[in-house]
Chain A
């Protein structure tokens, strides 16, 4: 039994399949890179794993327990073992501090220290009292990551976490991702960026039109035949 098992997962919107037959077993400490052109279903897959959306078919098992059959209350506790950073993160009204501590507060936990060190990790120390509505796009993205990091999730779902960032901030986030995996967090990272995938991922899954057309170690996947790479290059 693997830590997280996706089995024949599918999702349709209004009769149109956007994900089909996604099966993969994942362990703690892995970094799975999901790569694929726009509209291939990366975000949808992360949303299914985060239980924000119900799959149309297939199952998601965490520690062997099928999550989607659970009553809402137990779905909530499963969801509380994960955290997701959205492709276009939004801030709640209030300060950076209030945003970053949100997940802790609703769990009834208090920890100023962890908020401070999470902000430090994303290079935003001293931002606590800033009004979140005054942040730049790149700062929002990093605060959103800090907001997920404070929860010390067992599964971290990242949707294009470095798309809006300059190389220096992106590199800082890459190293956060690496060190999390070292602490046995399962990281699932959706990205267009093949280089980032190659650098970080322990395994890569290639999505094409909702299907997983290749899975494997980065070297295997990226050294596919020229024919496959031709499909892979356009993004």
Chain B
């Protein structure tokens, strides 16, 4: 008990004094997860909108597959991306295994089902009359899509936040694709797991507190958005 208390005090000291290691890891974590959620939004939101707005054979099957993939274990994604990025894999020539770029790619794949799925369900809430109105006022297909997304912008923002939260808090991809290289690919989750196993509890706790605070903030923002 004694040990935990003094560890906790030291942890707060590390945070308050802006310990360079703590700040560096936090910044890297934020950068990688923000980049992956940003890039996957660019792809997944339009893709979700396209799936939602069109009728095609197998649409229902695809949607239920997407829902199943929500709970994709992060280590399976890690394994998959590892196979893709390893020297003999299809994208091996990119040489981004054990780099932040590789981690971003991995996290993008990890959150893609949630992002597409939540986009589809958010847009499903928009009444067909809204789309008809936009169309009859002269909107092109792309403009109709933008109008529809704008109608449910808080739900869309909540989806992006959820994707960010999942990317930030996952370990599988970060560990297997990033390799937890100090000062390069070490992020909050992988650092916590390593430092704990090495007995550096004050550093783990400091990082843990930061991760928890960010997650709380994200959840708070999401709840406020969903209340609207």
Complex partner residue of A52 from B136, B143, B147, B150, CB under 8 angstroms: B136
Report if B137 contacts A (CB, 8 A): yes
Report if A113 contacts B (CB, 8 A): no
What is the total number of residues of chain A having a CB less than 8 Å from a CB of chain B? 22
Whether A106 pairs with B133 at a CB distance below 8 angstroms is: no
A151 vs B136: C-alpha distance in the bound complex, in angstroms?
11
Report if B72 contacts A (CB, 8 A): no
Chain A hits for B150, CB < 8 A:
92-93
Whether B127 pairs with A148 at a CB distance below 8 angstroms is: no
The minimal Cβ–Cβ distance linking A155 to chain B, given in whole angstroms, is 11
Chain B hits for A227, CB < 8 A:
none
Whether B140 pairs with A92 at a CB distance below 8 angstroms is: no
Chain A residue nearest to B133 (CB atoms) is A90
Chain A hits for B147, CB < 8 A:
92, 102
Whether B133 pairs with A50 at a CB distance below 8 angstroms is: no
Whether A106 pairs with B136 at a CB distance below 8 angstroms is: no
Complex partner residue of A151 from B134, B138, B141, CB under 8 angstroms: B138
The minimal Cβ–Cβ distance linking B137 to chain A, given in whole angstroms, is 4
Q: Which size bracket describes the interface of B in this complex?
A: 10 to 19
A102 vs B143: C-alpha distance in the bound complex, in angstroms?
11
Which of A76-84, A163-171, A201-209 is found at the contact surface with chain B? A76-84
A89 vs B127: C-alpha distance in the bound complex, in angstroms?
12
Interface residues of A in 81-128 (CB under 8 A from B): 82-84, 86, 88-90, 92-93, 102-103, 106-107
Report if B129 contacts A (CB, 8 A): yes
Chain A hits for B139, CB < 8 A:
106
A92 vs B140: C-alpha distance in the bound complex, in angstroms?
16
Interface residues of chain A, those whose CB is within 8 Å of chain B, are 50, 52, 72, 76, 79-80, 82-84, 86, 88-90, 92-93, 102-103, 106-107, 147-148, 151
26 contacts between A and B (CB under 8 A): A50-B136, A52-B135, A52-B136, A76-B140, A79-B136, A80-B138, A82-B136, A83-B136, A83-B137, A84-B136, A86-B132, A86-B133, A86-B136, A89-B133, A90-B127, A90-B129, A90-B130, A90-B133, A92-B130, A93-B150, A93-B153, A102-B134, A106-B137, A106-B138, A106-B143, A107-B138
Having A80-B138, A83-B138, one finds 19 other A-B pairs with CB under 8 Å, namely A52-B136, A76-B138, A82-B136, A86-B129, A90-B127, A90-B129, A90-B130, A90-B133, A92-B147, A93-B150, A93-B153, A102-B134, A102-B147, A103-B137, A103-B138, A106-B137, A106-B138, A106-B139, A151-B138
